[in-house]
Homo-oligomer: A and B are copies of this chain.
Amino acid sequence: MHKELTAKGKATRDRIIEGAAAVLREKDVSIATLDDVMARTRTSKSQLFHYFPTGKDELLLAVAHYEADQVLADQQPYLGCLDSWEAWQRWRDVVVERYEEQGEECSLGSLVLHLGRSTPGARDVVVALMRQWQASLATGIRALQSAGHLPADLDVERRAAALLAGIQGGVAILQSTGRADHLRAALDQGIGDLRRAAA
């Protein structure tokens, strides 16, 4: 990715990324400039290009990685500990709340579209996010199996993939229509069917 950095260098780079992320949550990626980022993060042009030598797209890709990490971080500690039905319900509430709050804006989605969905860098961010998210859901389903809440012969990966698809679709519909009904339906139906699989 980028050259080896000292601890101080890494801290500066992280500060630039977080500042750029804040700028891009307020301003569309097509109109935000490096000057906006420099002003927000109190860095000079030479500092900025020291950490992101090829310029704006390199910084945007780093912000996309940061925002993808945030998507998962915002679901913690619940997503990492789905070992009871109560935990699944709390996680469900956090997901709905997060996306209702985010509403029609999606900084990560805008970044990926801007960078070009099919460019390797942008695609890698999305693929990695989907993989990690699905793995967390699968780990949660296996935890329910271990606790004896679900039968051992359940198709865990398919359940996790279907639930993830439902969330992504619910969020996409929320962003297109302003309503979270489909997100709620996908989560409630998905978790409900999982509970019914216990019987």
- Neighbouring B residues of A113 by C-beta, 8 Å: 113
**Nearest CB on B from A99, distance (A):** 12
Q: Is the CB of B182 within 8 A of A161?
A: yes
From A78-86, A142-150, A172-180, give the one contacting chain B.
A172-180
Candidate in A118, A167, A168, A169 with the most chain B CB atoms within 10 angstroms? A169
Copies of this chain held together in the complex: 2
Answer whether residue A15 sits at the interface, using C-beta atoms and an 8 A cutoff: no
Count the A residues whose beta carbon is within 8 Å of the partner chain — how many?
39
Answer whether residue A69 sits at the interface, using C-beta atoms and an 8 A cutoff: no
- Neighbouring B residues of A170 by C-beta, 8 Å: 165, 168-169
Q: Which A residues form the contact surface with B (CB < 8 A)?
A: 104, 112-113, 117-118, 123, 126-127, 130, 157-159, 161-162, 164-173, 175-178, 181-183, 185-186, 188-190, 193, 196-197
Known contacts A118-B178, A123-B176; 5 further A-B pairs (Cβ under 8 A): A161-B181, A165-B186, A169-B169, A169-B171, A189-B193
